């Protein structure tokens, strides 16, 4: 069940909302929370019920270990450390088994020229997200930074459906108090209106903007060998905008839905493409992942406490792990490596104390991010190289040649009915993509407020904004039925 599906918007969400508050109104608090856990598990099982035992076992296992660690947090014993290691290793092994087994086998086969058959495991939905959330919980329990949580609230913390599938990666310290607070058990119209507004905006970002970019990005990435200079740029920029609008749209929807239940999820994006450095970018992009990587990987590795070289090494290691977390493939590893190197170069640059012009800093950062997304998106290493080669192939500055091929492989057969279609469609294709890319730039760079800023403004509670968001919602609902692309990119991770 996707957030942008009719079944979620018109059936699942209203039923969950009204049942939850009906039970609360009758003062059946435990029943209401249990219902929300049940609804979340139902939401999770909608894709494939066979994943259900996995998330339930993970939930029980981590709650037991975490609680034991919490009870013994004041004691300093080898058993406690062992228990933490056992918990972390079990989580990592579970994630590794489902996500990386085939990747490992492929590499072993390549290196040793063996032919070990692939296991072809289906990746359980959301496993990367709920594993990370619970590892953080275990580590904090070990550090004594958790309280004694009741199981129902813990179950809600892990399974709460708005954030379950693709984040934001929530931290127990920001969620558990909200689930426990009696103030959050009342229906609050301010939160409902905010929730509806943010959800509408997220839905619009996803189904109208991201899905339009997705069409062009997919066409380019599936035919990388024939792209001209402009087409290669249109392809890479389309994906750069697609991934932003797709993921931030999803996050907005998650935040909006959570608001309906009086739960405030952490923000995940803060105009990342306005960044003036790669460090700045990681403070604005997928902020909850950055927080996790910093607190649970970079700092435990030593952070910046062990000298310059070690700091650079830690940065690189953290981002390579971040790359692998996104997917089992060398292109993801290289994407993480690129960002790690980018951060190291940025640190070295800072040592010189030279400040770039703002526009130049933005240009370098944005293009670096754009290039790195090519590796992130490409299915094969060679595809990424082809696209990048085309992006610097100044001899191949033509507008339509290969787009005619890509576009018309599907429609050229129409030419005997509509003879003028061939040329005009290809031109239109590039024209549409370019127009949208410019609109993307305008939306991101020139628009005064991003969605978080807009929502935190008091002005938003006006008739004008209400009508505006209602129209965004209606337009998106219409667009859903016209859209050819629907899945969220981050569902794959």
Partner 1 sequence: MNYKKIVFIYVSLTIVLPMLFLGNIIYYDPLKLFHKPWHHKEYLHSNMRVQAAGMLKYLDYDSLIVGTSILQNTSAREASKRLGGKFINISIAGSDYFERSYILGHALKNKNIKKVLYSLDYLGEAGHENRVYNYKNWDYLYDDNKLNDIKVYLNKKYLTCLFSFVNKDWCMGMKRDFDRPGAWYQVEEHIKTFGGFETWLKNKNSPNMKHLFKIIDRLLLQMEKTKTIHNKLIGLLGLAKSKKYINKYILTLVQQYPKTEFIFIAPPYSRLSNALVAQTDITKFIVYLESLKYLVRLSEVNNNIKVYAWGNEKFLDNLENYRDLTHFSHKINSWILESIENKKGLLSVKMIDKYLESFIQKAIEYDFTEIKIKIRDYN
User: 64 or 410: whose CB is closer to partner 1?
Assistant: 410
User: 465 or 491: whose CB is closer to partner 1?
Assistant: 465
Work out how close the CB of 403 gets to partner 1 at its nearest, in angstroms, rounded to a whole number.
Answer: 21
Work out how close the CB of 392 gets to partner 1 at its nearest, in angstroms, rounded to a whole number.
Answer: 37
Q: Is 416 in the site for partner 1 (CB under 8 A)?
A: yes
The secondary structure of 148-193 as a DSSP string is: ---HHHHHHHHH-HHHHTT-----HHHHHHHHH-GGGGS--HHHHH
Q: Is 473 in the site for partner 1 (CB under 8 A)?
A: yes
Tokens of 45: 């099982």
Q: Is 183 in the site for partner 1 (CB under 8 A)?
A: no
**Of the candidates 301, 250, 303, 283, the residue with the CA atom closest to the CA atom of residue 129:** 250
Work out how close the CB of 418 gets to partner 1 at its nearest, in angstroms, rounded to a whole number.
Answer: 9
Q: Is 414 in the site for partner 1 (CB under 8 A)?
A: yes
Contact criterion met (CB below 8 Å) for 233 and 197: no
Tokens of 249: 């749209």
Q: In this chain, which of 26, 81, 190, 449 binds partner 1, going by CB under 8 A?
A: 190
Contact criterion met (CB below 8 Å) for 387 and 378: yes
Work out how close the CB of 450 gets to partner 1 at its nearest, in angstroms, rounded to a whole number.
Answer: 21
Burial class (CB in 10 A: 0-12, 13-18, 19+), 337: middle
Burial class (CB in 10 A: 0-12, 13-18, 19+), 305: exposed
Counting residues that bind partner 1 (by CB under 8 A) gives 27
Q: Is 413 in the site for partner 1 (CB under 8 A)?
A: yes
CA distance 128 to 104: 17
User: 160 or 469: whose CB is closer to partner 1?
Assistant: 469
Which is catalytic among the residues 171, 172, 286, 326? 326
3-state secondary structure of 100: helix
- Each residue 450-469 as x (binds partner 1 by CB under 8 A) or -, in order, gives -----------xxx--xx-x
Q: Is 419 in the site for partner 1 (CB under 8 A)?
A: yes
Q: Is 86 in the site for partner 1 (CB under 8 A)?
A: no
Catalytic residue check, 326: yes
Q: In this chain, which of 193, 279, 370, 427 binds partner 1, going by CB under 8 A?
A: 193
CA dihedral over 216, 218, 220, 226, signed as positive or negative: negative
- Each residue 474-493 as x (binds partner 1 by CB under 8 A) or -, in order, gives x--xx--xx-----------
Q: In this chain, which of 112, 120, 148, 189 binds partner 1, going by CB under 8 A?
A: 189
Work out how close the CB of 363 gets to partner 1 at its nearest, in angstroms, rounded to a whole number.
Answer: 36
Residue whose pair of structure tokens reads 């999770």 in the numeric block: 44
CA distance 30 to 23: 9
Q: How far is CA 366 from CA 270, 359, 363, 373, in A?
A: 15, 10, 5, 11
User: 209 or 391: whose CB is closer to partner 1?
Assistant: 209
Point out which residues bind partner 1 (CB under 8 A): 188-190, 192-193, 196-197, 413-417, 419, 461-463, 466-467, 469-471, 473-474, 477-478, 481-482
Q: Which residues are catalytic?
A: 326
């Amino acid at each position: 069940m996707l957030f942008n599906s009719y079944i979620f918007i018109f059936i699942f969400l209203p039923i969950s909302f009204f049942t939850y508050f009906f039970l609360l109104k009758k003062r059946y608090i435990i029943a209401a929370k249990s219902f929300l856990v049940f609804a979340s598990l139902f939401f999770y099982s909608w894709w494939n019920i066979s994943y259900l035992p996995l998330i339930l076992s993970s939930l029980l296992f981590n709650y037991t270990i975490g609680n034991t660690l919490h009870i013994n947090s004041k004691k300093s014993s080898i058993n406690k450390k062992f228990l933490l290691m056992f918990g972390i290793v079990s989580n990592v092994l579970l994630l590794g088994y489902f996500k990386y087994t085939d990747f490992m086998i492929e590499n072993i086969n390549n290196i040793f020229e063996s032919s070990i058959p692939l296991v072809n495991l289906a990746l359980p939905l959301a496993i990367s997200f709920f594993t990370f959330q619970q590892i953080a919980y275990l580590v904090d329990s070990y550090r004594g930074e958790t309280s004694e949580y009741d199981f129902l609230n813990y179950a809600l913390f892990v399974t709460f459906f708005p954030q379950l599938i693709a984040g934001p990666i929530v931290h127990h310290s920001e969620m558990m108090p909200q689930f426990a607070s009696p103030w959050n058990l009342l229906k609050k119209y301010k939160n409902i209106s905010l929730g509806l507004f943010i959800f509408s905006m997220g839905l619009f970002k996803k189904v109208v903007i991201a899905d339009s970019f997705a069409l062009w990005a997919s066409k380019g990435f599936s035919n990388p060998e024939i792209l001209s200079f402009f087409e290669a740029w249109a392809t890479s920029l389309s994906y750069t905008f697609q991934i932003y609008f797709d993921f931030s749209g999803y996050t907005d929807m998650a935040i909006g839905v959570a608001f309906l239940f009086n739960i405030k999820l952490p923000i995940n994006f803060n105009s990342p493409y306005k960044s003036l450095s790669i460090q700045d970018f990681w403070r604005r992009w997928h902020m909850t992942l950055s927080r996790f990587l910093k607190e649970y990987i970079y700092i435990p590795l030593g952070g910046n406490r062990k000298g310059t070289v070690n700091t650079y090494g830690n940065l690189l290691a953290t981002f390579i792990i971040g790359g692998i977390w996104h997917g089992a493939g060398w292109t993801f590893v290289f994407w993480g490596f690129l960002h790690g190197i980018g951060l190291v170069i940025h640190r070295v640059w800072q040592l010189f104390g030279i400040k770039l012009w703002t526009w130049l800093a933005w240009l370098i950062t944005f293009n670096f991010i754009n290039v790195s997304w090519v590796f992130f998106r490409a299915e094969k290493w060679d595809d990424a190289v082809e696209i990048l080669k085309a992006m610097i192939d100044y001899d191949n500055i033509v507008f339509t040649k290969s787009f005619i091929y890509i576009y018309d492989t599907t429609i050229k057969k129409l030419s005997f009915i509509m003879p003028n279609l061939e040329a005009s469609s290809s031109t239109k294709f590039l024209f549409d993509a370019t127009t949208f890319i410019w609109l993307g730039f305008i939306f991101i760079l020139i628009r005064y407020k991003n969605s978080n800023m807009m929502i935190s403004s008091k002005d938003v509670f006006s008739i004008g904004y209400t009508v505006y968001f209602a129209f965004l919602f209606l337009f998106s609902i219409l667009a859903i039925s016209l859209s050819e692309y629907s899945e969220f990119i981050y569902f794959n991770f």
